Amino acid sequence: MLRNLWRVGLGRCGWVGSIWILALSAVILGASPAVVQARSPLNGPSVSAQADTIALSQLPPQGRDMVALIYQGGPFRYDKDGTVFGNRERILPAKNRGYYREYTVRTPSERSRGARRVICGGLKPSAPDACYYTDDHYASFRKIVQ
């Protein structure tokens, strides 16, 4: 029965209908409503909602090195380092374009830039207001604390 409801929800109602079908099936199966949460494409979770932080000392050595380079103003290994990060995922706090900049955290076994990044925000790139670490290519962020 639920499989048929799910197919109808996806096929005819789009993603909004699918969310309702998912919520209905959770109620039928006895799950609490707090468990069934969909991320809105317009209002994604914010870093403050996740409340995830990482101490500078807990970053991988390459991450600590990158943070030091950021405060020194470089030099950076990759051309993309120091370029504007658009925050298209809308996970970081909303700021004007140009506020965030991205930097590559080298992964020793990777030939390419890999997935690890430090994203810093502020008006002056070498004196950021806040920096965030991601090891999953922008799917999640943790605020770096001293």
Q: Which of 70, 85, 92, 102 is catalytic?
A: 102
| 11 noted as active-site residue | no
- DSSP per-residue codes, the chain: -HHHHHHHHHHHSHHHHHHHHHHHHHHHHT--TTT-----SSSPPPHHHHT-EEEGGGS-HHHHHHHHHHHHT---SSTTTTEEP--TT--SPP--TTSEEEEE---TT-SS--S-EEEEESSSTTS-SEEEEESSTTS--EEEE-
Q: Which of 65, 77, 137, 139 is catalytic?
A: 137
| 102 noted as active-site residue | yes
Catalytic residue numbers, as ranges: 102, 137
